[in-house]
Every structure is written in structure tokens, then in C-alpha cells.
């Protein structure tokens, strides 16, 4: 797994529902649509690789998580991306 958080976030501070809310907002902004759900497929909603790159950039900015385009393509739903971002957060020591 090469996704990583760039700030001081931990699994405890970023719950999956909070991450899903942010990812949903980002998708709606990038795709210029409303009503995205956790199980919608990015590419079925009209997304493409350039739009995916914009989502990745905004996730880095807003959630401090880095992921590759390949990792995004493997997880094309809000739920899958959110779970991946949550799992990438460092555990609190």
C-alpha cells in the first residue's frame, strides 16, 4: 500500500464516515454533479483519468493522503477510497 498521510492524522482522528463526506464532496465538485453515494462508480459517473488526477490532488490537499492513479483505479467508489485512506493513516503510538 503506497497511500500515506502527510500530516499528523491518525486512524482515531479520521473516521471513515468523515473521510467519505470529504471524498463525496470532492467527487461532486470534480464531476460537477450532486447526489454521489458511497457505492457509485467514479467512471460510471463520467469520470476519467484527468478527473481522477484532480480527485487525487484534492484528497492530498484536504485529507493529507497520497495515492497513485493505479490505486485510485483499483478503488473506484467513495467507500473503497475512503476505507483505503483510513487504512493508510498511521496508528497512534
Q: What is the dihedral of CA 7, 13, 19, 21, to 10 degrees?
A: -120
Total count of domains within the chain: 1
* Residue 69 within a domain: yes
What angle (nearest 5°) sits at the alpha carbon of residue 38, between those of residues 36 and 43?
65
Length of the chain, please? 93
Which one-letter DSSP state was computed for residue 7? S
By residue range, what is the domain housing residue 64?
A: 4-88
Whole-prediction pTM? 0.82
pLDDT, the chain, mean = 86
**Which CATH number does the domain housing residue 59 bear?**
1.10.1200.10
Tens of pLDDT, residue by residue over 21-64, are: 999 999 999 999 999 999 999 999 999 999 999 999 999 898 88
93, part of any domain: no
CA distances from 71 to 12, 32, 34, 68, 92 (A): 23, 23, 24, 5, 24
Amino acid at each position: 500500500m503506497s497511500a500515506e498521510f502527510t500530516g499528523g492524522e491518525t486512524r482515531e482522528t479520521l473516521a471513515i464516515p468523515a473521510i467519505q463526506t470529504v471524498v463525496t464532496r470532492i467527487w461532486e465538485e470534480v464531476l460537477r454533479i450532486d447526489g454521489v453515494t458511497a457505492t457509485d462508480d467514479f467512471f460510471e459517473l463520467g469520470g476519467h483519468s484527468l478527473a481522477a488526477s484532480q480527485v487525487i490532488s484534492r484528497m492530498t490537499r484536504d485529507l493529507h493522503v497520497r495515492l497513485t492513479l493505479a490505486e485510485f483505479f483499483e478503488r473506484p467508489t467513495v467507500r473503497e477510497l475512503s476505507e483505503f485512506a483510513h487504512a493508510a493513516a498511521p496508528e497512534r503510538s
